[in-house]
Amino acid sequence: MRPILLCLLLCLAACPKLPPVSGCTPAAWRCSPDGRPEVCSASQRWEPAGDRSCASVGAVCVVERTAHCAPAFDASTDASEVTP
Amino acid sequence: MIAPTLIESALRTWRPATVLRPGDALHAVAVGLYRALVEALPAALRPVTGVVLGSLEDASQRVSVTLATPGDPVIVLSPAAVADEVSHACTLAHEWVHVGQIARVGRVQTAVDYLGSGELRAQREADAAAVGLWLRYVLTGELPETAPTLGDLYHLSTDDAALARAVIASHLDTIRAGALPPLDVCVVLAQWLHATPREIPADVLARVPRVPS
């Protein structure tokens, strides 16, 4: 039992920490609930573009061709998910 | 032109790191470590990790790297990176994204993520590449029409390379929209540029959005 637990702990400690599989459509775009641009990977995970929210750089997240940040005064596009 | 050493100072204030340039006494030692690292890997891991590290050793003339060490991260700049001041500054900014990733995720997890997942490697290199493109835009006004493809260096699958290109495309659209890419290094440099306006050319400053402090 102990070796199994040890292996499990080592595996948990040494596995890449990917985002959870969401079932999204690969290459789809969205703004995350906290306002970060994200793109769906081939493994159907939402991967972020950047390491902080658009709001933290004085912008808002929009989906227009891609999901990206835009100045707040220019944000006229609905920030919903789009598929390719 | 803003001296790359000034940009380095601004970034080092945010996250400490050691920068080794060609000609530095420790530069040759660090490059030699790539080969030692590959040879020290357990045989079972070499197909995964050796391919990345091995290519770095071979490509050390044109490739810069950030190494997670027990102390501060070490940035090893290639001769190509310091060939001109704009490339020098942009490469420093690119590598400091990895310094930030090491601080955020941890040394061991950063290495596990980078070497164990093409998807995470693609996402992190894309963010770093976008910072380099943003700083080049700030310094020169040049911005590529379309997102560049990351080179073979990172050993990305077709799917992961497409992910990297998509992440860069998002950042390019952010820059075109007049906003700052949502990346820590961009925020640090934007705040520093606006805090030292007398030393920064007006046309450069005009390309840097102000960000909340």
**Cα distance between the two ends of chain A:** 48
B173, A68: Cβ pair inside 8 Å? yes
User: Does residue B18 have a pLDDT over 90?
Assistant: yes
DSSP summary character for residue B46:
I
What value of ipTM does the predicted structure carry?
A: 0.87
Give me the phi and psi of B177, to 5 degrees please. -75, -10
What's the CA gap between B104 and B170, in Å, rounded?
Answer: 22
Contact status, residue B79 vs residue B61, Cβ threshold 8 Å: yes
Separation between Cα atoms, residue A66 and residue B166, nearest integer Å: 8
Closest CA to B132 of B66, B181, B61, B75: B181
State the greatest distance between any 2 C-alpha atoms of chain B, in Å, as a whole number: 56
Distance from the Cα of A73 to chain B's closest Cα (Å) equals 11
pLDDT in tens, A29-38: 999 999 999 9
8 Å CB contact between A57 and A69: yes
Among chain A residues, the shortest Cα distance to B101 is held by: A51
pLDDT in tens, B172-202: 999 999 999 999 999 999 999 999 877 789 9
pLDDT at B55 exceeding the cut of 80: no
Read off the amino acid at residue B60: S
Size of interface A-B (CB pairs under 8 A): 130
Interface test with B, best of A51, A62, A65, A82 (most B CBs within 10 A): A51
Q: What are phi and psi of B101, to 5 degrees?
A: -65, -40
Q: What is the pLDDT of residue A81?
A: 65
pLDDT band, residue A1 (cuts 50/70/90): very low
pLDDT band at B31 (very low <50, low <70, confident <90, very high): confident
Strand B18-20 and strand B74-76: pairing? Answer: parallel
Give the DSSP H/E element, type plus range, for residue B137: helix B118-140
| Residue A13: predicted pLDDT | 62
Across the interface, do A71 and B179 touch by the CB < 8 Å criterion? yes
Q: Going by C-beta distance under 8 Å and a sequence separation of 6 or more, which residues neighbour residue B83? A: none
- Residue scoring higher pLDDT (B150 or B141): B141
pLDDT by residue (tens digit) across B150-161? 877 788 999 999
Asked if B54 and B38 touch (Cβ cutoff 8 Å), the reply is yes
Place B54 in a pLDDT band, splitting at 50, 70 and 90: low
Which residue from A minimizes the CA distance to B116?
A16
pLDDT of residue B213: 76
A71-75, B49-53, B176-180, B197-201: range with lowest mean pLDDT: B49-53
